[in-house]
Structure 1
Amino acid sequence: MAQFKYRGDAELIKAIREKAVSLFKKEFKNTTIVPIPLSEERHYERGFNQSFLIAQLLKQPMFCCLHRPIHEEKQSKKGREDRLEKQAVFTFNESFKEDIRDKEITLVDDIYTTGATLEAAGKILLDKGALSITSFTVARG
């Protein structure tokens, strides 16, 4: 994961494709995917959004309706307490409101550590009318 995420080797997504797709199809039905966004600065730094690449593998309806307007210190540099104390800040693109209303949403992220990022994103989507929120990650940190 470190080489994929931090060293810009997006091609490594191919190494997890088969297992990720197989597991997703087994566990998730009739869901709409929302990948966890990066700030513009982090996206520029990495050259790609690893959560978006994972989401693309799953070949499900996908909405990139969340935005992360604030550039924060990397999560990997924070301890557990810091991660739980300061939740990720997301905004919602209102043009997707009808698209997610009454839908089962699966948030897609690369690594699950404390769940704070997924919780913050999920709260916004529920507030905007999503029926339910689940998550799919490829690693546990």
Structure 2
Amino acid sequence: MATYKFRGDYVLARIFAESIKDLLRRLNPDLLVPIPLSNERLYERGFNQAEALVIESGFVPSNLITRIHSEKQSKKSRTERIHIPQVFQIGDYADIRGKEILLVDDIYTTGSTLRHAAKLLKESGAKRVQSLTLAR
């Protein structure tokens, strides 16, 4: 996972693609929303690992939310991660009312990231929000 996430080895997304593709077909959400990186993290890593999982599985990601830059999650303690303030914002033109959304992320640690994203999407009118992560 470190090679994929922190060393920019994009091709590793293809290893997981077939399994993810099958699961995404079964779940059949209206929108696939990868957890976004801040612009700074995207620059550092070279690509969004969650978005790559969606693309390599043959689906189109819906980049409806953006991330506000903050300290790296990996540098925070479990308690700090659990109590972080909202780090996402939704795009001005994102109409998600009544949609079933699947959030996609690479690693689930405390669940704070997914909870924040799900809360924002639900408050914006999503009918249902589920999540899929590659590792825990």
TM-score by length of 1: 0.88
Residues 116-137 of structure 1: CA distance to partner in whole angstroms, max 9, x if unpaired?
0000001111111100100011
The answer (yes or no) to whether the contact 2:14–2:57 under 8 Å persists in 1 is no
Instruction: Tell me if 1:52 matches 2:37.
Output: no
Counterpart CA distance in 2 for 1:86 and 1:30 is: 28
Deviations 1:59-111 (A, max 9, x none): 44532010112x222212222111001145111102112xx110110001001
Report the secondary structure of 2:43's partner residue.
Answer: helix
Choose between structure 1 and 2: higher helix proportion.
1
Unmatched tracts of structure 2, length 5 or more: none
**What is the number of residues matched between the two proteins?**
136
1:16 equivalenced with 2:16 (yes/no): yes
Say if 2:97 and 2:127, in contact at 8 Å, map to a contact too. yes
The aligned residue for residue 76 of structure 1 is: 74
% identical equivalent positions? 45
Q: C-alpha separation between the residues in 2 aligned to 1:36 and 1:84?
A: 17
**Contact 2:88/2:116 (CA < 8 Å) preserved in 1?**
yes
Instruction: Name 1:119's counterpart in structure 2.
Output: 115
In structure 2, relative to structure 1, the CA distance for the partners of 1:61 and 1:131 (3 Å cut) is farther
Distance across 2 between alignment mates of 1:44 and 1:65: 19
- Rounded to whole Å, the distance in 1 between the matches of 2:87 and 2:70 is 9
Cα distance in 1 for residues equivalent to 2:35 and 2:73: 13
Distance 2:31 2:64 in 1: 11
AA matched with 1:73: E
Q: Is the 8 A contact 2:51 2:61 kept in 1?
A: no
SS at match of 1:130: coil
Contact residue 108 and residue 133 of structure 2 kept, 8 A: yes
Aligned counterparts of 1:50 and 1:88: Cα–Cα separation in 2: 21
Distance 1:115 1:133 in 2: 14
Residues 31, 60 of structure 1: 8 Å contact kept: no
Runs of 4 or more above 2 Å deviation: 22-26, 57-62
